[in-house]
Amino acid sequence: MTNEWIVMRQRHPMAGFTLSELMIVVMIFGLLVVISIPAGRRARRFAQLNACKNNLRQIVGASELWALSERRGEGDPFTWEDILPYLQRKPICPAGGDYIGFEYHVPPTVTCTVHDWRRDPALAGWIP
């Protein structure tokens, strides 16, 4: 019986990976995940920042159209109801912030509570 087992084993060698090979693969996979998580967070923050910057541009453009059509001057306050006819929809900050500072000024005073262009250097050049 032992001879038959040895002959069978020689014909069909056991296929598979050793424990150390599997541990190395799992370790490499874990390292790739650890490297990619901060990059994903950074990319999401950058995308939110760009979306907020574009929303601010739309609000400023709508306020300028409102001021021209209503013959308003600098310092006149406006509300969402005033500028919504000049927008397709009400802009929403992707990070959950609110847009504040609704007075018509040049340069604009409207800003986001999360992405404040006066404090955030990444938003410094958003003003049209």
Structure confidence at residue 121 (pLDDT):
61
Quick check: helix, strand or coil at residue 119?
Answer: coil
Assigned token pair, 42 = 């950074």
What is the arithmetic mean of pLDDT over 40-48? 86
Of the chain, the end-to-end C-alpha distance in Å amounts to 87
Summarize pLDDT for 86-115 with one digit per residue, the tens: 998 889 888 888 888 887 777 777 888 887
Q: Which contacts (CB < 8 Å, 24+ apart) does range 61-67 have?
A: 61/86, 61/128, 62/86, 62/87, 63/102, 63/104, 63/108, 63/110, 64/104, 66/104, 67/104
pTM, rounded to two decimals: 0.66
Structure confidence at residue 98 (pLDDT):
85
CA gap 89, 85 in Å, rounded: 9
Summarize pLDDT for 2-36 with one digit per residue, the tens: 566 555 555 555 667 888 989 999 999 999 988 88
Structure confidence at residue 122 (pLDDT):
59
Summarize pLDDT for 57-76 with one digit per residue, the tens: 888 888 888 888 888 888 88
> Mean pLDDT of all residues in the chain?
80
Structure confidence at residue 29 (pLDDT):
93
Three-state helix/strand/coil letters over 2-41: HHHHHHHHHHCCCCCCCHHHHHHHHHHHHHHHHHHHHHHH
Asked if 111 contacts 93 with a C-beta cutoff of 8 angstroms, the reply is no
CA gap 20, 64 in Å, rounded: 67
